[in-house]
Chains A and B, each alone.
Chain A
């Protein structure tokens, strides 16, 4: 492959776009723009325009703020990962935040009556999965559109949450539950985890290249393979070091990454995940090759229910309380769907990645955080969120590889 040298930048961009990591590009661009604006442009502008400022105040890019950003985005990201799975099918889940709310409320009540934290968490995860499966059965076997079923779920579960929490608020002080957000990994352990992660990835890349060569298949372009690795390594190490420089890597972030890795692996590397993409791409095709489309849809809704329950647990852990407005009644649902879509997951199914949902959640979180720091009103926040959603989807549509138009 000596002609690789002559590839132009555009071709390289194309190659990257078509690789598995390629869909990261637009959402990362959006993230970079937002961080650049709030982190660099705004403080410098303030410094130059106001004569009484004595130094530049990089508050947005401070490690403390970035730590908070990660924690704030974790709940949204957990839900967004689940929603991505049903979006891949071409369905939608409007009830995810309400499910998370019901699960969080149930968790609070269980902890209050003295159920051990870990049992309460397991019960709540089961309940969340059941709520998802129940909706999935209505969608797949009765044939009601997912929009309608989950809209009904959204309303019904909001009511259910109010029934469980008549006062609308409940403090959670169970140590196990609070632990997800409170426990911090020791600095060295965080770095070691990062090193191990990158080493495993490097090994996987080398093994894959060697196997491809041994079996006489066309090799991945080395530029793409190692480029991806370097890219992930930079992302992982910079995250760990920034978090370490404030406190340390919180357990919740590690769990979120772990759950996303598992979901990502299932969706991209197993026959089940392939069937999700197949149903999303062309459900008739999936049916003809003998896939049980109905069961796949039910399973996907079970997964989103499970992840919503996990989001509920994370939320209860982080806020130390369960409140109606933080889950079912607030902006969590739209932020999660927005995060998945900003991450480049198609609403028509068949295209997307759960990893992008995390980055999408960071985009939404950064926007809210940055606007808060610059003293913007709630009205400004909403309008900016809408604009950034449109912008991210537009970037994605423009830079999409040929042949996937309309998806």
Chain B
């Protein structure tokens, strides 16, 4: 077994964009996250894997500000930051695309992409912001830019209703919405879970495109094939603890699966 050659240290990588250290989180008596270290660099896809209950979702929600950790420190580009809620995380450029996407199917793509921060026409300053007329053209242009940036080629028009789009297109729209909000860290929760082959390919292309546009991507998935296709590094969690982080090129599916299910140091000796 070659597992011993990997230390639990993070392998050298481009300087991390977002880094967290010593994250502790309890839910009542459950110690969900135990001293977790995690980092992701710009222009990198970091896969976050682990069995059910390993703490992936909890860690993701901590990063997105949806859970406040009991202990732990955050750094963004080397500066220590504190995240005390989803709004703060969003301000710092950390965006999350939940599995349920939460798109409005009754609205078109452009409206979904600028939902909550619609551009308004100039010259209506005498009205409160929520009653100023929406600048539909500006909205469409921004939407088109966001879609072009992610190279979603199958989308016919930004004026198409989201209700009529395919699963892959919706996932792409949800990602575009997260990216459009001036984000630098994009977290994707099981983005290909419910998709067919062609749709998965489309979403993975969008993820690659996010890397090319210098975003830090955190990719949570159970699908080893997708992970090995798209991730640069793979971070394995088990029972709320770090197991290790590998470079995708230097590991195998079997090794990751073993790490997920049995952990590392035991090396198969202390199988429970």
Contact = CB atoms under 8 A, between A and B. Distances in A.
Q: Do A and B bind each other?
A: yes
A341 B129 CA distance: 31
Interface stretch (B21-29, B111-119, B225-233): B111-119
Contact of B105 (A272, A275, A407): A407
B164 A403 contact: yes
A314 interface: no
A128 to B, nearest CB: 20
Contacts of B111: 274, 277
Nearest to A348: B106
Contacts of B165: 403
Interface in B101-132: 102-107, 111-112, 115-118, 120, 129-132
A274 B102 contact: no
Contact of A282 (B105, B133, B140, B161): B105
Contacts of A403: 105, 161, 163-165
B87 interface: yes
Contact of B131 (A18, A270, A277, A289): A270
A351 B162 CA distance: 13
Size category of the B interface is: 35 or more
Contacts of A286: 104, 115-116
B86 to A, nearest CB: 8
A68 B253 CA distance: 78
Contacts of A288: 86, 98, 102
Interface in B52-109: 86-87, 90, 98, 100, 102-107
A163 interface: no
Interface string A19-37: 0000000000000000000
Given A271-B134, A281-B107, A282-B105, A217 B141 contact: yes
Contact of A401 (B90, B100, B131, B161): B161
Interface in A369-407: 401-404, 407
Given A218-B157, A290-B87, A281 B106 contact: yes
A266 B98 CA distance: 31
B140 A285 contact: no
A211 interface: yes
Interface in A58-115: none
B116 A282 contact: no
A18 B104 CA distance: 17
Interface residues of A, number: 33
B134 A269 contact: yes
A18 B106 CA distance: 12
A278 B134 contact: no
B125 to A, nearest CB: 14
A378 B115 CA distance: 48
A285 B103 contact: yes
B13 interface: no
Contacts of B193: none
B137 interface: yes
Interface string A318-342: 0000000000000000000000000
Interface in B199-248: none
Given A270-B132, A350-B104, A278 B137 contact: no
Contacts of B90: 290
Interface string B152-182: 0000010101011100000000000000000
Interface of B: 86-87, 90, 98, 100, 102-107, 111-112, 115-118, 120, 129-134, 136-137, 140-141, 144, 157, 159, 161, 163-165
12 contacts: A211-B137, A269-B134, A275-B116, A275-B130, A277-B104, A278-B104, A281-B105, A284-B100, A285-B102, A289-B117, A350-B104, A350-B107
The 6 closest A-B pairs by CB, nearest first: A403-B164, A289-B116, A281-B104, A350-B106, A281-B106, A403-B163
